[in-house]
Structure 1
Amino acid sequence: MLGGIVMTGASVQFLTGMGFALVAVPALVLVLGPGDGVCLSNCASGAISLIGLAGGWRRVRLAAMAPLIAASVCTVPVGTWVASRLPGPVLLSCMGALVTALVLFVMRGGRTEALCGVRGALTAGAAGGFMNSSAGVGGPPVSMYAVNAGWTVREFVPNAQFYGITVNAVSIASKGLPQVGGTVWELSAAGLAVGAVIGKVLAERVPEKGARRLVLLLALTGGVTTLAKGLSGL
């Protein structure tokens, strides 16, 4: 099951340029628990972003990304602190509710004047850093910023990958590696490898609009499931 979760998330990430955490985190926290599930997602997301950026690093807009990354670095420790002090069911409920709300917001257009300009970049970065370290889903605020800034998909993907490498590295440094056995790492690595191949093949065949809809539906399902699991344990 674990390998399949990572494979699905990796396929989505390579297909659309984002979405691993939205798709995989709800399932990972159900299988491994909130702490290790989020930590493993940080590791996998960072690895996928690193692989994806290999061919597009020249298109990274360093000036535009600087405030996003600076703000996220400041809020990662806060997210780590909050997550370490919440009971398991409460954390699951918060994660599920957060993912569900974000997906619904994106489905409705995800535009807001609060995410424009440098102030918007700082807001998106701060929210992304906190959410990445606490719930493993730091991408939506950055994608919403990109939408409001009018970035094309070609512009967004390498910058999102650059952000993913940085914020996940800081999150891992803040929390440490997940306390899981070697089998988990092996299954995760295999899932990443297979997912990368599937995602690249699908990227040549699936229209962007259809891929985006698939990501959102999978993420919404995962968010609702995690919310239900958390509420049932309260």
Structure 2
Amino acid sequence: MNVEELLALAGLVGAVLLGSALQRTTGVGFALVAAPFLVALLGPFNGILVVNLFGMLTALLVFFRVFRRVEYKRVFWLLLPALVATIPGAWVAVNVPPAELSVVVGVLIIIALAGSFLIRRRTFASGRGGALAGGLASGFMNVTAGVGGPAITAYAVASRWPQHQFAASVQLYFCVLGAGSMLAKFSLPTLDAPQWAGTAVGLVAGIIAGEVLGRRVSAVLARRVVIGLAFLGAMIVMLQGLVDLAGS
């Protein structure tokens, strides 16, 4: 393994570790942080598959620790439209060329992040209509860009969903949605043995780190870190796609 491959492996492990740590700390954050960097390292299609798989595994591990606070009925009404939206999203993910998809992924992440700020200043439907809109947007963006969190966060803000119940409930949501996103694309990530081993270590280490961080770092600070890193990563992915388009 040469230096370039070692650096790529370190970046892959680091993205999974950081994403899983912030997911454990804040309830969301794996895809927002990991997706831009995994897409840059592995390409848009394979990178998002890694996000779907390890986002699902992270949510599953966290779910086992918080399942008593999950609001199952609310999760059900979000999952119904989200799983439906994975079907057109999967078509986009499979049929759009890599360079164009990189630009789309970057733009979608930036739009989602900007929307999560705007929702705080406006009042939207917070009942079944809000769940339908949030689920549809989240499902489509999860399968195409790996970022289903901002749309669900926007719904949580609009519906005044208490943070503790929200943080617990979305673990079940992301677990099922991640599995549905991979099923819709009929694919699993393509990684070599060192990459599988490294991402597995990063996942476990991130969960452990998130346990520690959750006791010492405020939720406000953690969310700011998530948003800052996600914006940076999205810009990198979008610029990489634009460069590839210019060179083609």
In which range does the TM-score fall when normalised by the shorter chain? over 0.9
Matched-pair contact (CA < 8 Å) for 1:15–1:203: yes
Q: 1:119 to 1:90 in 2, by over 3 A?
A: same
Match of 1:193 among 204, 224, 236: 204
Once residues 8 and 40 of structure 1 are traced to their aligned partners in structure 2, the CA distance between those partners, rounded to angstroms, is: 14
Give the Å deviation of 1:68. Answer: 0.8
Provide, for residues 155-202 of structure 1, a one-character-per-residue CA deviation record: whole Å limited to 9, x for no partner.
111111010011001111122211222222111101111111211111
1:180 is aligned to: 191
Q: For the aligned residues, what is the CA RMSD?
A: 1.4
Give the TM-score, by structure 1 length. Answer: 0.95
1:2 is aligned to: 12
Give the Å deviation of 1:65. Answer: 1.8
Give the Å deviation of 1:15. Answer: 1.4
Give the Å deviation of 1:114. Answer: 4.0
1:27 is aligned to: 37
Give the Å deviation of 1:115. Answer: 4.4
Once residues 193 and 86 of structure 2 are traced to their aligned partners in structure 1, the CA distance between those partners, rounded to angstroms, is: 27
Give the Å deviation of 1:106. Answer: 2.1
Once residues 49 and 115 of structure 1 are traced to their aligned partners in structure 2, the CA distance between those partners, rounded to angstroms, is: 27
Matched-pair contact (CA < 8 Å) for 1:39–1:178: yes
2:117 is aligned to: 107
Match of 1:170 among 158, 180, 205: 180
Once residues 141 and 217 of structure 1 are traced to their aligned partners in structure 2, the CA distance between those partners, rounded to angstroms, is: 17
Residue 226 in structure 1 maps to residue 237 in structure 2: yes
Residue 38 in structure 1 maps to residue 48 in structure 2: yes
Once residues 69 and 12 of structure 1 are traced to their aligned partners in structure 2, the CA distance between those partners, rounded to angstroms, is: 23
Give the letter for the 1:83 counterpart. Answer: A
Match of 2:108 among 77, 98, 102: 98
Once residues 89 and 193 of structure 2 are traced to their aligned partners in structure 1, the CA distance between those partners, rounded to angstroms, is: 27
1:52 is aligned to: 62
Consecutive unaligned residues of structure 2, counting only runs of 5 or more, are: 1-10
Once residues 75 and 151 of structure 2 are traced to their aligned partners in structure 1, the CA distance between those partners, rounded to angstroms, is: 13
Give runs of aligned pairs for residues 123-142 of structure 1, distance below 5 A.
123-142=133-152
Residue 69 in structure 1 maps to residue 79 in structure 2: yes
Give the Å deviation of 1:82. Answer: 0.8
Match of 1:87 among 73, 97, 101: 97
Once residues 224 and 29 of structure 2 are traced to their aligned partners in structure 1, the CA distance between those partners, rounded to angstroms, is: 11
Matched-pair contact (CA < 8 Å) for 1:111–1:147: no
Secondary structure of 1:232's match? helix
Secondary structure of 2:216's match? coil
1:152 is aligned to: 162
Give the Å deviation of 1:83. Answer: 1.1
Give the Å deviation of 1:108. Answer: 4.3
Q: 1:98 to 1:163 in 2, by over 3 A?
A: same
Match of 2:217 among 195, 199, 206: 206
Once residues 13 and 33 of structure 1 are traced to their aligned partners in structure 2, the CA distance between those partners, rounded to angstroms, is: 23
Give the letter for the 1:98 counterpart. Answer: L
Give the TM-score, by structure 2 length. Answer: 0.90
Tell me the number of residue pairs that the alignment of Structure 1 and Structure 2 aligns.
234
Once residues 171 and 191 of structure 1 are traced to their aligned partners in structure 2, the CA distance between those partners, rounded to angstroms, is: 22
Consecutive unaligned residues of structure 1, counting only runs of 5 or more, are: none
Give the letter for the 1:155 counterpart. Answer: Q
Q: 1:233 to 1:110 in 2, by over 3 A?
A: farther
Once residues 110 and 103 of structure 1 are traced to their aligned partners in structure 2, the CA distance between those partners, rounded to angstroms, is: 12
Matched-pair contact (CA < 8 Å) for 2:79–2:173: yes
Matched-pair contact (CA < 8 Å) for 2:124–2:158: no
How many percent identity over aligned positions?
A: 35
